[in-house]
Every structure is written in structure tokens, then in C-alpha cells.
Amino acid sequence: MTKGVNMKQCYVYIMSNKTKTLYTSFTNDLHRRVCEHKQKAVKGFTNRYNITMLVYYEEHWEPSQGIEREKQIKGWLRSKKIELIESLNPDWKDLASDWSQE
């Protein structure tokens, strides 16, 4: 899909921890948001459960599509979310392990 003039790149992403607790969300700045999770900059679920590993993400050019996709994934059973992650990241590697934390 070609980027439109008013379209802005956004992401649906799934974060996890060593015990595979899952957190799904949406952002327009994946690098910034993942760094916030890793630095525990925002109090809440990810901070409480030490969710600091980016295990899945997908890019969208239309924010409304990204938001719909986030809602779809959040509505899935855990097993289906795990299948999605493992389809692209079978070893559950932190896809942001080498990102700068700036």
C-alpha cells in the first residue's frame, strides 16, 4: 500500500516477560513506547509485571485499521495470540533488544 498524504505510520504490538504474560497495545511511535516499557516509565500493568520484551509488532498506515486490529487481537484467546507471536518469532526473542534506550 502506498502511503497517503495524511497517513501516519502506526503499530500494533505485543510485549511480554519471561513468564509469557502478554500485553497488546497500539502506538504511533513504536521505538519511544517500547523504551518507555523497558524503562518502566509508566506505572501500570507492564511495570507491575515486568513486561519489557517486544515479541511481536505489525505496521499500519491507517490509524483506524491499527486500532481495529488491536481490538481484534485483544479479543482473541491467549492461545491464538501465542500462535500469532510464534508465527513470526518462534523463539520469543526480544525484537527490540538492540534498540537504543534513549
Segment 35-56 shows an average pLDDT of 94
pLDDT tens-digit series, residues 49-83: 999 999 999 999 999 999 999 999 999 999 999 99
- Cα 53 from chain centre: 9
The pLDDT, as a whole number, for residue 12 is: 98
Fold classified for 10-88: GIY-YIG endonuclease (3.40.1440)
Give the count of beta carbons closer than 10 Å to the beta carbon of residue 33: 19
Residue extents of the structural domains in the chain: 10-88
Distance CA 57, CA 41 (A): 20
Q: Which residues contact 79 (CB under 8 A, 6 or more apart)?
A: none
What pLDDT was estimated at residue 42?
A: 83
Q: CB within 8 A of 46, min separation 6: which ones? A: 15, 23, 37, 40, 52
**pTM of this structure:** 0.90
